[in-house]
Structure 1
Amino acid sequence: MNVTFDHEIAERPAGFQGPNLTPAGLELIPRELAPGVHALMANLPPKDNSGVIAGADAALVIDAGITPQVARHIRSLAAGLTPAPVRYLVNTTYHGDHTFGNAAFPADVTIVSHRANRDAMTDLGREKAMRAESMYGDEALLDAVTTWRRPDLVFDSSCEIDLGGGQLAALHWFGQGNGPGDTVVHVPSARTAWTGNFVAVGGIAMLLQGGPGPYLAAVRRMRDALPGLEWIVPGHGPIGSAPVALAELITYLERLESEVAEAVDAGLTLEETYARCTDPFEHGLPDSLLGGLAAYDLPQEIARTRFRHAVRELHRLNVLVTYRVRTGRPAR
């Protein structure tokens, strides 16, 4: 039996420690990828990245941050990077660490995302509770989030935003992935895509809804639809090679789906399934991820330890979600 979940499940593995997303100590460092195209990279892993795409007439910001204060930081950076006014804000997912800052953008900024993201943005209290588990003592910062501003404009498959002077931002939805409405922002001039929680470097998946089957299909569609793509800027973690990141994610999801299916067919319990499944990060981080850690404001050994812990915890969560989807058993 297979099921999908309408919302992110609240169940977590025993002792689970999610990624630390508190904005305390967060600085976003601009990195120019092409004329007018800047990644805004978090100085501490694995906090949220952002981006600014500027054309002759307008600029577009990718993701708004977890609090209004972070959103104001993003707006200040954008104003320093381009004279073009920010006219658009894209939400790559509905998750609060990407959208709670929406309300701090002026009303004349059009927020754009996939329809499923807008539809999921209905229960602010629940979403704040979900993100609070990753605040690690800074939960009170979410008190500043009193309004969950939803997208003004939605799309279903793809759309293009013309920023002037030949600068285009193409928005794509390839299917169910980490969430129902994962929005990829492809900037052809930089051969780069912002992928939110959909694709990260190093084969890391944040599998919170739907299971690996739909996710695999969506990742393969992205790979086939954007053959010239060279780089990805994920929602969390370093910039990396798009072909390598997509291939590693496909390998991870294929193995996860196969191993959990075998465990369920053998009648194993959830705890037995954890033990049966391959931990791809048991012996360290892949080379594709290690190279990007030098950009962080941390000694390399500390950065490696933090990332290794975070991705191993995400792997345990992925096994849990896949097991629940496969068995159709309700989450506790």
Structure 2
Amino acid sequence: MARIPTREIAERPEGYGGPNLSPVGLELRPHELAGNVYALMANIPPKDNNGLVAGRDAALVIDAGITPEMSARIQETTATLTDRPVRYLVNTTYHGDHTFGNAAFPDEVVIVSSRVNKENMNDLAFEKQVRSGNMYGDAALLDTITEWRRPDLVFDSYAEIDLGGRLVELHHFGPGNGPGDTVVYVPEARAAWTGNFLCHAGIAHMLLQGGPVPYAESLRRMRAALPDLETLVPGHGPMGDAREAVDTLLAYLERLHDDVEASVRAGRSLEETYAACADPWAEGLDRRLVAAIEGYQVPRDRAVQGMLALCRDLHRLNVLATYRLYRAG
């Protein structure tokens, strides 16, 4: 079995676009999932989503934004939704679009994430370099980031935070998009904020620092641990049905593994492997995904075509990352 890389793959397929992570034009739209439990959804996909959970005594924010200015807007939004003080900030991943805003939160806010996420927050220059490729002309906004504030409190596989009459569960099920993906689950709402670990069914995920086999094992652990989970709030893209999303991603990962493993064993080149791996988006987007993105502040045709191009780009990236991993293994 190939070992999980210690750093995200920096190579990208020829012609790759990737997700637009620039905060320019980004607004957060609150969706209340239960009393004082909010999904903060980006108005333009696939820019970053966030979350807010409040209890009797305190509030918790999910992910910090890509710049200090975006972090300030997240905090302004939360202040309109609850008068409870923000005491906790959870990072679902170490990636800069979720963590560069950490330093803009007050010092008394406790930042929490998996131990593995913290361990991967060790090279700010490299992280800024990688994320700048997804800023679409706005990379200069990252110049203001001179400090990468790391989590204050870490856990290995499970932790609980009591906000006062409201329990929030934190889970690390194993490697997925990255090695330390953290899932935030609110049992009362049957909702989870999944970061880059799990998106709406039909959206391509990114295998940036791992492989399809351990990713699939992590998803099965999530399914077993959270049988009552209904709604997922991903780090990017629309909310969706959690069970459907897990099943869809598992099927994709299993097919990706089989196709790339067979290609490597056959001695095919990377270009030959691209051609040999089935593209689930060759015929377009799933109609349920089309319906889910129709509510965005983007013309329908533009949103659909943009998401389709992104999914096909990400699939090629997954083929490349898996090919390099299996060749190295």
Structure 2 length normalisation: TM-score?
0.98
1:85-132 alpha-carbon deviations (Å, 9 max, x no partner): 000000000000000000000000000000011111111111000000
Paired AA for residue 95 in structure 1: H
1:51-130 alignment runs, 5 A limit: 51-130=51-130
Shift of 1:9: 1.0
Residue 144 of structure 1 corresponds to: 144
Residue 239 of structure 1 corresponds to: 239
The answer to whether the 8 A contact 1:240-1:288 is kept is: no
Shift of 1:224: 1.1
The answer to whether the 8 A contact 2:201-2:246 is kept is: no
Tell me how far apart the structure 2 counterparts of residues 163 and 247 of structure 1 sit (CA, whole Å). Answer: 32
Tell me how far apart the structure 1 counterparts of residues 310 and 133 of structure 2 sit (CA, whole Å). Answer: 14
SS in 1 for 2:188: helix
Shift of 1:2: 2.4
Shift of 1:225: 0.9
1:200 aligns with 2:193: no
1:164 aligns with 2:164: yes
Paired AA for residue 188 in structure 2: S
**Structure 1: runs of 5+ lacking an equivalent:** none
Paired AA for residue 244 in structure 2: V
1:213 aligns with 2:213: yes
Shift of 1:168: 1.2
Paired AA for residue 102 in structure 2: N
- Comparing 297-306 and 320-329, the one that deviates more: 320-329
Residue 190 of structure 2 corresponds to: 191
Tell me how far apart the structure 2 counterparts of residues 115 and 290 of structure 1 sit (CA, whole Å). Answer: 36
Tell me how far apart the structure 1 counterparts of residues 125 and 316 of structure 2 sit (CA, whole Å). Answer: 26
Paired AA for residue 220 in structure 1: R
- Comparing 283-292 and 273-282, the one that deviates more: 283-292
Matched residues, number:
328
Shift of 1:285: 1.0
Moved over 3 A (4+): none
Percentage of pairs with the same residue = 60
The answer to whether the 8 A contact 1:3-1:326 is kept is: no
Q: What RMSD, in angstroms, separates the aligned Cα atoms of the two structures?
A: 1.0
Residue 287 of structure 2 corresponds to: 287
Shift of 1:288: 3.5
Structure 1 length normalisation: TM-score?
0.97
Tell me how far apart the structure 1 counterparts of residues 134 and 172 of structure 2 sit (CA, whole Å). Answer: 26
Shift of 1:289: 1.7
Tell me how far apart the structure 2 counterparts of residues 6 and 123 of structure 1 sit (CA, whole Å). Answer: 12
The answer to whether the 8 A contact 2:194-2:235 is kept is: yes
**Structure 2: runs of 5+ lacking an equivalent:** none
